[in-house]
Amino acid sequence: MTLDDELVRALQDDYKTAPISEQDKVMLDYVMQLTRDATRISQQDHERLRAAGFDDRGILQITLIASWFNYINRVADALGVGRD
């Protein structure tokens, strides 16, 4: 969480050029792939996360959190939550 509006805008524009750590960029690359097509996640993706400093527990947590957000957003979209 951050109160830094400039950082939020940079992340919204393109996280790859935002002023965040390389570890965060690797994590977000993984989350983006998970969101787009989880069937394409490979052992290489997990190895890249490990090389960035994440252990198996961290990889599991990233996967669970991103998957839960994907799930709940799809449920909300399907039910029209937030639409007027």
Range 68-75 contact pairs with CB under 8 angstroms and sequence separation of 24 or more: 70/34, 70/35
Q: What is the pTM assigned to this prediction?
A: 0.86
- Answer whether 82's CB lies under 8 Å from 73's CB: no
Most confident range (mean pLDDT) of 3-7, 8-12, 34-38 is: 34-38
Alpha-carbon span 16 to 25, nearest angstrom: 6
pLDDT of residue 49: 98
Domains assigned to the chain: 5-79 (1.20.1290.10)
Residue 1 has pLDDT above 70, yes or no: no
Phi-psi region of 80 (alpha: psi -120 to 50; beta: other; left: phi over 0): left
Alpha-carbon span 58 to 76, nearest angstrom: 27
Confidence bin at 2 (pLDDT 50/70/90): low
pLDDT of residue 75: 95
For residue 77 the two structure tokens come to: 């979209």
pLDDT in tens, 17-70: 999 999 999 999 999 999 999 999 999 999 999 999 999 999 999 999 999 999
Q: What is the largest CA-CA distance in the chain?
A: 45
